[in-house]
């Protein structure tokens, strides 16, 4: 149903958490009165924006927790209902379909890839159908540049807005509101969702008004991170084969090449913390493939990405897909003759 810009409507999403009654203005994306009665998440301030959220994987769950803690009312949908139950217990509201999550006027997606995103975008129960005119879709997933540009056009033809806001950070950062966001899209739409973006992470990098360019930055950044895992693995193995204990090598490398990424991934490799995964190998392989696709379309040679892809494929062949990407170390060790 299409609503006039100033029309207020009572909240009607199924399985409501115990909030007081309220009226919502699609024009401002704010509640006139909404008093939280109880919630499993400590509240900071009062309810502010009404936002849909589709995709409750490790990252999505943490992001929803952060939005709830910041005082936003979050309407959630996920393919597997068990994960919905977890965040509903914290104060989120259950949506029956992606359509219903999008109907509130602003909707985030945080899904594995292009195909998973398309599955919730298209069709009569999808986000495109549910998002009202002038509504905003914020895509925080890591998507291909081609698909991101396509989404922007599909939303534009419906009078909707599309903002790309992929994130850097692991699940713990998502739950703490400490993500770094790369943002691109219409300036007005970005400003309208700024309170939500700021809740997820105070550091936001706005690229320009072309959403797909935020995903280009995200793919280039993930390529850098995954290559760092490869380089650290090779360096540790080289030092060990020369008789230097790994912890001694990392003591030097961590000081000389000090950075949050070197420290985090170096310690993960040193301690062989492959479970539970912060970033699954299968998703890392997907991102390397997307980076290589972008490289081909822009005629950009990426020989290191080719090597990382090959080693990731070897790890996948040995059943490591659900472990952390740092399990790439095992492939490097095997090539060097270490058990």
pLDDT digits (tens, 9 = 90+) for 256-306: 999 999 999 999 999 999 999 989 999 999 999 999 999 999 999 999 999
**Residue 35, pLDDT above cutoff 50:** no
From the number of C-beta atoms within 10 Å of its C-beta (0-12, 13-18, 19+), residue 79 rates as middle
Give the CA dihedral 96, 102, 104, 106, nearest 10 degrees: 150
Tokens of 287: 């991102």
- 136 and 255 co-located in one domain: no
Is residue 272 located within the same domain as residue 144?
Answer: no
CA distance 171 to 167: 11
Query: How confident is the model over 202-208, as a mean pLDDT?
Result: 97
Query: Alpha carbon of 267 to those of 6, 130, 173, 246: distances in Å?
Result: 54, 45, 17, 10
Query: Looking up tokens 């797909």, which residue turns up?
Result: 212
pLDDT at residue 257, rounded to an integer: 95
CATH number for position 131: 3.40.50.720
Distance CA 62, CA 70 (A): 12
**Mean pLDDT confidence for 15-28:** 36
Confidence of residue 339 (pLDDT cuts 50, 70, 90): confident
The boundaries of the domain holding residue 32 are: 9-209
Task: Tell which of 209, 227, 248 closes a domain.
Answer: 209
Q: Across 48-96, where does the E strand assignment appear?
A: 50-54, 73-77, 93-94
Confidence grade of residue 318 (pLDDT, cut at 50, 70, 90):
very high
pLDDT value at 3 more than 90 = no
224, 267: one domain: yes
Residues 199 and 238 placed together within one structural domain of the fold: no
pLDDT in tens, 64-113: 999 999 999 999 999 999 999 999 999 999 999 999 999 999 999 999 99
Distance CA 117, CA 159 (A): 20
- Domain boundary residue among 173, 189, 209? 209
In a domain, residue 2? The reply is no
User: Are 167 and 260 in a shared domain?
Assistant: no
- What percent of the chain stands above pLDDT 90? 85
Q: Looking at the structure, tell me whether residues 118 and 225 fall in a common domain.
A: no
Kindly state whether residues 162 and 307 are assigned to the same domain: no
Residue 185 lies in a domain: yes
What's the maximum distance between 2 C-alpha atoms anywhere in the chain?
Answer: 72
| 4 assigned to some structural domain | no
Higher pLDDT among residues 4 and 152, named by residue: 152
Mean pLDDT within 245-258: 96
Shared-domain flag, residues 314 and 204: no
Instruction: Confirm if 72 and 44 have CB atoms less than 8 A apart.
Output: no
Do both 95 and 189 map to the same domain? yes
Q: Provide the domain count of the chain.
A: 2
Do 15 and 78 reside in the same domain of the chain? yes
Per-residue pLDDT at 5? 29
More confident residue, 31 or 133: 133
**Is 218 noted as a catalytic residue in this protein?**
yes
Taking the C-alpha atoms of residue 21 and residue 39, their distance in angstroms, rounded to an integer, is: 16
In terms of Cα–Cα distance, which of 137, 162, 335, 322 is closest to 238? 335
pLDDT of residue 234: 98
What pLDDT does residue 7 have?
Answer: 30
Backbone angles phi, psi at 50, to 5 degrees: -95, 120
- pLDDT score at 154: 99
| Residue 1 included in any domain | no
- Over 60: is that where the pLDDT of 319 sits? yes
Across the range 154-180, mean pLDDT stands at 98
Spot the catalytic one: 218, 280, 311, 323.
218
For residue 45, what pLDDT is reported? 38
Residue-averaged pLDDT of the chain: 89
Q: Please tell me what DSSP assigns to residue 49.
A: B
3-state secondary structure (DSSP) of residue 87 = helix
Verify that 153 and 298 share a domain, yes or no. Answer: no
From first CA to last CA, the distance across the chain in angstroms is 62
Q: Which domain CATH number covers 280?
A: 1.10.1040.10
Does residue 32 lie within any of the structural domains? Answer: yes
Whether 40 and 187 map to the same domain: the answer is yes
200, 222, 238, 252, 337 from 203: Cα distances, Å: 9, 18, 37, 30, 43
Given 209, 241, 269, which residue is the final one in a domain?
Answer: 209
Residue 46 lies in a domain: yes
Is 91 within 8 Å of 101 (Cβ atoms)?
A: no
Beta bridge partners of 183: 206
Does residue 293 lie in a domain region?
A: yes
Strand ranges (DSSP E) for 70-217? 73-77, 93-94, 106-109, 136-139, 161-164, 167-168, 180-183, 203-206
Taking the whole predicted model, whether its pTM rises above 0.75 is answered as yes
Q: What is the pLDDT of residue 9?
A: 34
pLDDT at residue 48 in the model: 79
Give me the sign of the Cα torsion angle 254, 256, 257, 260.
Answer: positive
- Mean pLDDT across the stretch 303-321? 98
Say how far apart CA 311 and CA 332 lie, in whole Å: 8
């Amino acid at each position: 149903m299409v609503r006039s810009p100033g029309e207020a409507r009572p909240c009607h999403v199924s399985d409501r958490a115990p909030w007081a009654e309220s009226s919502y203005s699609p024009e401002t994306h704010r509640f006139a009165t909404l008093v939280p009665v109880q919630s499993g998440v400590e509240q900071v301030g009062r309810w502010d924006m009404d936002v849909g959220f589709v995709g409750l994987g490790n990252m999505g769950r943490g992001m929803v927790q952060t939005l709830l803690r910041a005082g936003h009312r979050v309407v959630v949908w996920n393919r597997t209902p068990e994960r919905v139950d977890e965040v509903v217990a914290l104060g989120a509201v259950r949506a029956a379909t992606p359509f219903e999550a999008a109907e509130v006027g602003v909707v985030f997606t945080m899904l594995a890839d292009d195909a998973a995103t398309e599955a919730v975008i298209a069709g009569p129960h999808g986000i495109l159908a549910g998002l009202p005119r002038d509504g905003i879709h914020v895509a925080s997933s890591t998507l291909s540049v081609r698909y991101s540009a396509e989404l922007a056009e599909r939303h534009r033809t419906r009078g909707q807005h599309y903002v790309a806001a992929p994130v850097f950070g692991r699940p713990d950062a998502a739950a703490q509101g400490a993500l770094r966001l790369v943002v691109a899209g219409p300036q007005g739409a970005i400003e309208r969702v700024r309170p939500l973006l700021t809740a997820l992470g105070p550091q936001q990098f706005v690229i320009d008004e072309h959403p797909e360019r935020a995903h280009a930055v995200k793919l280039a950044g993930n390529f850098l991170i995954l290559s760092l895992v490869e380089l650290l693995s090779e360096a540790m193995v080289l030092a060990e084969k020369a008789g230097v204990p790994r912890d001694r090598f990392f003591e030097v490398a961590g000081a000389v090449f000090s950075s949050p990424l070197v420290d985090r991934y170096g310690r993960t490799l040193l301690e062989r913390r492959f479970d539970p995964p912060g970033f699954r190998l299968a998703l890392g392989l997907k991102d390397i493939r997307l980076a290589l696709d972008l490289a081909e379309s822009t005629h950009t040679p990426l020989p290191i990405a080719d090597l990382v892809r090959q080693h990731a494929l070897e790890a996948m062949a040995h059943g490591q897909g659900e472990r952390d990407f740092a399990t790439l170390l095992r492939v490097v060790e095997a090539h060097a003759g270490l058990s």
